[in-house]
């Protein structure tokens, strides 16, 4: 917590799937749920449950003062649709080796 900013990371009991066009990009029952002040809840999916062979690393990088520097992945028709924190800050270390997508299907 910093200046009223909270982040929690916990295991999710939901099945999280990401489908784009005809491709299932991710399917996991091992996702982590990250809740952060001022942001929508986000599901971080283990890299092993993501079709990284379909995604291309992007040149985009952003910096979050609470999580670290994010790297992004794209599809030809969907730039920067996934991101991860390769070296997350200690407070969110659990999200290392996990990817996040903007609009997953959660059940």
Sequence length of the chain is 107
pLDDT in tens, 63-94: 999 999 999 999 999 999 999 999 999 999 99
CATH of 7-106, one of 3.40.50.720, 3.50.50.60, 2.170.150.40, 3.40.47.40: 2.170.150.40
0.85 exceeded by the pTM? yes
Q: How far apart are CA 2 and CA 69, in angstroms?
A: 18
Task: Kindly list the domain boundaries of the chain, sorted by start residue.
Answer: 7-106
């Amino acid at each position: 917590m910093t200046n009223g900013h909270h982040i929690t990371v916990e295991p999710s009991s939901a099945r999280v799937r990401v489908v784009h066009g005809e491709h299932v990009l991710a399917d996991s029952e091992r996702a982590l749920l990250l809740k952060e002040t001022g942001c929508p809840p986000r599901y971080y999916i283990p890299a092993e449950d993501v079709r990284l062979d379909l995604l291309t690393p992007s040149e985009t990088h952003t910096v979050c003062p609470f999580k670290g520097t994010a790297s992004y992945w794209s599809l030809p028709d969907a730039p920067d649709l996934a991101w991860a924190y390769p070296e997350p800050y200690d407070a969110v270390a659990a999200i290392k080796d996990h990817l996040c997508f903007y609009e997953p299907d959660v059940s």
